[in-house]
Structure 1
Amino acid sequence: MTRPPLRVLFLCTGNSARSQIAEALLNHKAAGRFVADSAGSHPAPRVNPHAIRVLAEAGVPWAGHPPQGADALERERFDIVITVCDRAKESCPIFPGQPVQAHWGMPDPAEVEGSDDAKLDAFRETLCVLQRRVGLFLALPVESLEPLALQARIRRVAEEGA
Protein backbone atom coordinates (compact mmCIF):
# COMPACT_ATOMS: atom_id res chain seq x y z
CA MET A 1 0.00 0.00 0.00
CA THR A 2 1.37 3.38 -0.99
CA ARG A 3 1.70 5.90 1.80
CA PRO A 4 0.16 9.35 1.17
CA PRO A 5 2.63 12.22 0.91
CA LEU A 6 3.59 13.93 4.15
CA ARG A 7 2.21 17.45 4.52
CA VAL A 8 4.76 20.17 5.28
CA LEU A 9 3.95 23.76 6.22
CA PHE A 10 6.54 26.55 5.96
CA LEU A 11 5.82 29.61 8.10
CA CYS A 12 7.33 33.10 8.06
CA THR A 13 6.00 36.52 8.92
CA GLY A 14 4.62 37.81 5.62
CA ASN A 15 4.35 34.64 3.51
CA SER A 16 5.78 36.78 0.73
CA ALA A 17 9.36 35.53 0.38
CA ARG A 18 11.10 32.79 2.42
CA SER A 19 8.11 30.53 3.06
CA GLN A 20 6.87 30.87 -0.53
CA ILE A 21 10.33 29.96 -1.86
CA ALA A 22 10.63 26.98 0.51
CA GLU A 23 7.17 25.73 -0.47
CA ALA A 24 7.96 25.98 -4.19
CA LEU A 25 11.32 24.22 -3.80
CA LEU A 26 9.95 21.31 -1.79
CA ASN A 27 6.95 20.80 -4.07
CA HIS A 28 9.26 20.92 -7.10
CA LYS A 29 11.74 18.36 -5.74
CA ALA A 30 9.56 16.16 -3.52
CA ALA A 31 8.62 13.57 -6.17
CA GLY A 32 5.36 12.75 -4.41
CA ARG A 33 6.90 12.18 -0.94
CA PHE A 34 5.74 15.56 0.38
CA VAL A 35 3.15 18.22 -0.31
CA ALA A 36 4.18 21.67 0.91
CA ASP A 37 2.15 24.72 1.77
CA SER A 38 3.12 28.07 3.27
CA ALA A 39 1.61 30.80 5.40
CA GLY A 40 2.52 33.85 7.44
CA SER A 41 1.84 35.13 10.93
CA HIS A 42 1.07 38.58 9.44
CA PRO A 43 0.57 38.02 5.69
CA ALA A 44 1.77 40.68 3.28
CA PRO A 45 -0.58 42.06 0.62
CA ARG A 46 1.32 40.26 -2.16
CA VAL A 47 4.23 37.93 -2.83
CA ASN A 48 7.47 39.82 -3.30
CA PRO A 49 8.22 39.98 -7.06
CA HIS A 50 11.90 39.21 -6.36
CA ALA A 51 10.86 35.85 -4.85
CA ILE A 52 8.90 34.99 -7.99
CA ARG A 53 11.80 36.11 -10.18
CA VAL A 54 14.51 34.03 -8.45
CA LEU A 55 12.28 30.95 -8.55
CA ALA A 56 11.77 31.48 -12.29
CA GLU A 57 15.53 31.95 -12.79
CA ALA A 58 16.08 28.60 -11.04
CA GLY A 59 13.41 26.87 -13.14
CA VAL A 60 11.22 26.23 -10.10
CA PRO A 61 7.47 26.59 -10.64
CA TRP A 62 5.65 28.84 -8.20
CA ALA A 63 2.16 27.88 -6.97
CA GLY A 64 0.89 31.41 -7.47
CA HIS A 65 -1.12 31.62 -4.28
CA PRO A 66 -1.25 34.98 -2.53
CA PRO A 67 0.09 35.33 1.01
CA GLN A 68 -2.18 33.62 3.49
CA GLY A 69 -2.40 33.77 7.25
CA ALA A 70 -1.44 30.84 9.44
CA ASP A 71 -4.81 31.22 11.16
CA ALA A 72 -6.50 30.14 7.91
CA LEU A 73 -4.73 26.78 8.24
CA GLU A 74 -5.07 26.22 12.00
CA ARG A 75 -7.54 23.36 11.54
CA GLU A 76 -5.44 21.67 8.86
CA ARG A 77 -3.33 18.64 9.72
CA PHE A 78 0.35 18.88 8.87
CA ASP A 79 2.99 16.26 9.52
CA ILE A 80 5.81 18.80 9.71
CA VAL A 81 5.77 22.56 10.43
CA ILE A 82 8.96 24.51 9.70
CA THR A 83 9.35 28.16 10.66
CA VAL A 84 11.83 30.11 8.55
CA CYS A 85 11.94 33.32 10.59
CA ASP A 86 12.30 34.10 14.26
CA ARG A 87 9.09 36.13 14.48
CA ALA A 88 7.01 33.27 13.06
CA LYS A 89 8.68 30.85 15.47
CA GLU A 90 7.54 32.97 18.42
CA SER A 91 3.94 33.19 17.20
CA CYS A 92 3.57 29.73 15.63
CA PRO A 93 0.01 28.47 16.20
CA ILE A 94 -0.70 25.01 17.56
CA PHE A 95 -1.80 22.69 14.78
CA PRO A 96 -3.87 19.53 15.30
CA GLY A 97 -2.20 16.14 15.34
CA GLN A 98 1.05 17.23 17.02
CA PRO A 99 3.14 17.84 13.91
CA VAL A 100 6.91 17.69 14.10
CA GLN A 101 8.15 21.28 14.45
CA ALA A 102 11.50 22.73 13.47
CA HIS A 103 13.04 26.16 12.96
CA TRP A 104 15.17 27.11 9.95
CA GLY A 105 15.72 30.77 10.81
CA MET A 106 17.21 33.05 8.19
CA PRO A 107 17.28 36.77 7.38
CA ASP A 108 14.38 38.26 5.45
CA PRO A 109 15.63 39.22 1.98
CA ALA A 110 12.75 41.68 1.68
CA GLU A 111 14.36 43.81 4.39
CA VAL A 112 17.51 44.43 2.33
CA GLU A 113 17.82 48.05 1.29
CA GLY A 114 19.69 49.46 -1.65
CA SER A 115 19.66 48.90 -5.37
CA ASP A 116 17.46 46.41 -7.16
CA ASP A 117 20.58 44.30 -7.79
CA ALA A 118 21.36 44.21 -4.06
CA LYS A 119 17.80 43.11 -3.32
CA LEU A 120 17.91 40.42 -6.01
CA ASP A 121 21.23 39.16 -4.65
CA ALA A 122 19.64 38.80 -1.21
CA PHE A 123 16.79 36.78 -2.71
CA ARG A 124 19.23 34.63 -4.69
CA GLU A 125 21.17 33.92 -1.48
CA THR A 126 17.91 32.97 0.27
CA LEU A 127 17.08 30.64 -2.61
CA CYS A 128 20.54 29.01 -2.39
CA VAL A 129 20.27 28.45 1.36
CA LEU A 130 16.78 26.99 1.03
CA GLN A 131 17.88 24.77 -1.87
CA ARG A 132 20.60 23.30 0.37
CA ARG A 133 18.20 22.83 3.27
CA VAL A 134 15.47 21.26 1.15
CA GLY A 135 18.07 18.93 -0.39
CA LEU A 136 19.25 17.84 3.07
CA PHE A 137 15.64 17.47 4.20
CA LEU A 138 14.82 15.24 1.22
CA ALA A 139 17.81 13.02 2.06
CA LEU A 140 16.40 12.25 5.53
CA PRO A 141 14.74 8.87 6.05
CA VAL A 142 11.62 10.66 7.28
CA GLU A 143 9.30 7.72 6.94
CA SER A 144 11.40 5.53 9.25
CA LEU A 145 12.25 8.00 12.03
CA GLU A 146 10.32 8.39 15.27
CA PRO A 147 8.88 11.91 15.76
CA LEU A 148 11.51 13.13 18.27
CA ALA A 149 14.40 11.82 16.18
CA LEU A 150 12.84 13.33 13.06
CA GLN A 151 12.42 16.69 14.79
CA ALA A 152 16.09 16.70 15.85
CA ARG A 153 17.26 15.79 12.33
CA ILE A 154 15.08 18.44 10.65
CA ARG A 155 16.35 21.06 13.11
CA ARG A 156 19.93 20.05 12.30
CA VAL A 157 19.27 20.75 8.61
CA ALA A 158 19.34 24.49 9.40
CA GLU A 159 22.88 24.19 10.78
CA GLU A 160 24.19 21.90 8.05
CA GLY A 161 22.54 23.84 5.22
CA ALA A 162 23.45 27.33 6.42
Structure 2
Amino acid sequence: MNAVRSPIAEQLARRMLPATSFVASAGVRAGERDPFVDAVLAEESLSLGERQPRALEELEDDYFDLIVTLAPEAHHTALELTRSLAVEVEYWPMPDPTDTGGTREHILAAYRDVRERLKARISRRFLLPEAKNATD
Protein backbone atom coordinates (compact mmCIF):
# COMPACT_ATOMS: atom_id res chain seq x y z
CA MET A 1 0.00 0.00 0.00
CA ASN A 2 3.03 2.25 -0.44
CA ALA A 3 3.09 3.06 3.24
CA VAL A 4 6.03 1.17 4.74
CA ARG A 5 8.61 -0.77 2.72
CA SER A 6 8.58 1.08 -0.59
CA PRO A 7 8.73 4.63 0.86
CA ILE A 8 11.71 3.55 2.95
CA ALA A 9 13.34 2.05 -0.15
CA GLU A 10 12.56 5.17 -2.19
CA GLN A 11 14.21 7.52 0.30
CA LEU A 12 17.24 5.27 0.74
CA ALA A 13 17.68 4.93 -3.03
CA ARG A 14 17.38 8.67 -3.52
CA ARG A 15 20.25 9.16 -1.08
CA MET A 16 22.40 6.24 -2.23
CA LEU A 17 22.06 6.47 -6.01
CA PRO A 18 23.29 9.21 -8.34
CA ALA A 19 21.02 12.24 -8.63
CA THR A 20 20.45 11.33 -12.29
CA SER A 21 18.57 8.19 -11.23
CA PHE A 22 14.79 8.54 -11.33
CA VAL A 23 13.28 6.82 -8.30
CA ALA A 24 9.59 6.60 -7.47
CA SER A 25 7.49 4.29 -5.37
CA ALA A 26 3.85 3.36 -5.50
CA GLY A 27 1.62 0.59 -4.25
CA VAL A 28 -1.13 -1.59 -5.59
CA ARG A 29 -3.37 0.59 -3.40
CA ALA A 30 -2.60 3.76 -1.46
CA GLY A 31 -2.51 3.26 2.30
CA GLU A 32 -2.10 5.54 5.29
CA ARG A 33 1.18 7.17 6.23
CA ASP A 34 2.97 5.15 8.92
CA PRO A 35 4.62 7.05 11.80
CA PHE A 36 7.17 4.28 12.36
CA VAL A 37 8.47 4.88 8.82
CA ASP A 38 9.04 8.53 9.72
CA ALA A 39 10.88 7.45 12.88
CA VAL A 40 13.29 5.00 11.21
CA LEU A 41 13.97 7.39 8.33
CA ALA A 42 14.72 10.21 10.79
CA GLU A 43 17.38 7.97 12.37
CA GLU A 44 19.11 8.10 8.96
CA SER A 45 18.54 11.88 8.60
CA LEU A 46 15.93 11.18 5.90
CA SER A 47 12.35 12.35 5.67
CA LEU A 48 9.27 11.73 3.59
CA GLY A 49 8.46 15.42 3.85
CA GLU A 50 4.88 15.98 2.74
CA ARG A 51 4.83 12.79 0.65
CA GLN A 52 1.78 10.60 1.15
CA PRO A 53 1.29 6.96 0.08
CA ARG A 54 0.20 6.66 -3.53
CA ALA A 55 -1.12 4.04 -5.92
CA LEU A 56 0.48 2.99 -9.22
CA GLU A 57 -1.93 5.07 -11.29
CA GLU A 58 -0.77 8.19 -9.44
CA LEU A 59 2.80 7.99 -10.76
CA GLU A 60 3.69 10.88 -13.04
CA ASP A 61 5.89 8.72 -15.26
CA ASP A 62 5.09 5.22 -16.44
CA TYR A 63 8.37 4.38 -18.15
CA PHE A 64 10.90 2.54 -16.06
CA ASP A 65 13.97 0.45 -16.80
CA LEU A 66 13.53 -1.52 -13.59
CA ILE A 67 10.68 -2.16 -11.20
CA VAL A 68 11.53 -3.58 -7.80
CA THR A 69 8.73 -5.17 -5.83
CA LEU A 70 8.86 -5.88 -2.11
CA ALA A 71 5.66 -7.82 -1.47
CA PRO A 72 4.02 -10.77 -3.28
CA GLU A 73 0.87 -8.90 -4.36
CA ALA A 74 2.92 -6.01 -5.73
CA HIS A 75 5.15 -8.44 -7.63
CA HIS A 76 2.24 -10.22 -9.28
CA THR A 77 0.64 -6.88 -10.19
CA ALA A 78 3.90 -5.54 -11.67
CA LEU A 79 4.37 -8.68 -13.76
CA GLU A 80 0.83 -8.39 -15.08
CA LEU A 81 1.14 -4.69 -15.88
CA THR A 82 4.49 -5.07 -17.64
CA ARG A 83 3.74 -8.23 -19.59
CA SER A 84 4.06 -6.45 -22.95
CA LEU A 85 6.71 -3.90 -21.92
CA ALA A 86 10.48 -4.03 -22.08
CA VAL A 87 11.07 -3.55 -18.38
CA GLU A 88 12.90 -5.67 -15.86
CA VAL A 89 10.95 -6.66 -12.73
CA GLU A 90 12.83 -7.86 -9.66
CA TYR A 91 11.31 -9.25 -6.48
CA TRP A 92 13.09 -8.41 -3.25
CA PRO A 93 10.97 -10.12 -0.59
CA MET A 94 10.87 -8.01 2.55
CA PRO A 95 9.15 -8.87 5.81
CA ASP A 96 6.15 -6.79 6.76
CA PRO A 97 7.13 -4.98 9.97
CA THR A 98 3.51 -4.06 10.67
CA ASP A 99 2.88 -7.71 11.59
CA THR A 100 5.08 -7.22 14.65
CA GLY A 101 3.43 -6.74 17.99
CA GLY A 102 4.88 -5.85 21.34
CA THR A 103 6.41 -2.71 22.72
CA ARG A 104 7.22 0.39 20.70
CA GLU A 105 10.89 -0.59 20.78
CA HIS A 106 10.09 -4.08 19.47
CA ILE A 107 8.07 -2.59 16.61
CA LEU A 108 10.82 -0.09 15.81
CA ALA A 109 13.34 -2.94 15.72
CA ALA A 110 11.27 -4.65 13.01
CA TYR A 111 11.14 -1.43 10.96
CA ARG A 112 14.88 -0.90 11.42
CA ASP A 113 15.49 -4.45 10.22
CA VAL A 114 13.58 -3.73 7.00
CA ARG A 115 15.46 -0.45 6.54
CA GLU A 116 18.82 -2.20 6.93
CA ARG A 117 17.82 -5.04 4.58
CA LEU A 118 16.78 -2.47 1.97
CA LYS A 119 20.06 -0.55 2.32
CA ALA A 120 21.98 -3.77 1.79
CA ARG A 121 19.90 -4.79 -1.26
CA ILE A 122 20.22 -1.36 -2.88
CA SER A 123 23.95 -1.40 -2.27
CA ARG A 124 24.41 -4.92 -3.65
CA ARG A 125 22.22 -4.29 -6.68
CA PHE A 126 23.36 -0.84 -7.73
CA LEU A 127 26.60 0.07 -5.99
CA LEU A 128 28.51 -3.19 -5.74
CA PRO A 129 27.86 -5.02 -9.01
CA GLU A 130 30.88 -7.27 -8.46
CA ALA A 131 29.35 -8.50 -5.17
CA LYS A 132 26.05 -9.21 -6.93
CA ASN A 133 27.78 -11.24 -9.62
CA ALA A 134 29.69 -13.23 -7.02
CA THR A 135 26.47 -14.29 -5.28
CA ASP A 136 24.43 -15.09 -8.41
Report the TM-score when normalising by structure 1.
0.71
In structure 1, the partner of 2:36 is 50
- Following TM superposition, by how much is the alpha carbon of 1:138 offset from its aligned partner in structure 2, in angstroms? 2.1
Which amino acid letter does the alignment assign opposite residue 122 of structure 1?
A
In structure 2, the partner of 1:138 is 126
Which amino acid letter does the alignment assign opposite residue 131 of structure 1?
K
Is 1:99 the equivalent of 2:107? Answer: no
Counterpart-to-counterpart distance in 2, 1:90 and 1:113: 28
Identity rate, percent: 27
Which amino acid letter does the alignment assign opposite residue 8 of structure 2?
I
- Structure 2 residue matching 1:71: 3-state secondary structure: helix
Structure 1 vs Structure 2 CA RMSD: 2.4
Which 5+ residue runs of structure 2 have no aligned equivalent? none
The structure 1 residue matched to 2:103, chosen from 87, 92, 115, is 115
Tell me if structure 2 keeps the 8 A contact 1:109–1:126: yes
- Structure 2 residue matching 1:60: 3-state secondary structure: coil
Is 1:80 the equivalent of 2:66? Answer: yes
Cα deviation, 1:36-78, whole Å, max 9, x if unaligned, reads 111111221x221111110110123435311111122396111
Q: Which moved more, 1:104-113 or 1:118-127?
A: 104-113
Which structure's residues are more often strand, by fraction?
A: 1
Counterpart-to-counterpart distance in 2, 1:64 and 1:119: 23
In structure 1, the partner of 2:115 is 127
How many residues of Structure 1 are paired with residues of Structure 2 in the alignment? 131
Is 1:29 the equivalent of 2:20? Answer: no
- Structure 2 residue matching 1:137: 3-state secondary structure: helix
Tell me if structure 2 keeps the 8 A contact 1:28–1:61: no
Which 5+ residue runs of structure 1 have no aligned equivalent? 1-13, 142-152
- Structure 2 residue matching 1:98: 3-state secondary structure: coil
- Following TM superposition, by how much is the alpha carbon of 1:33 offset from its aligned partner in structure 2, in angstroms? 4.0
Question: CA 1:62–1:16 in 2, change beyond 3 Å: closer, same or farther?
Answer: same
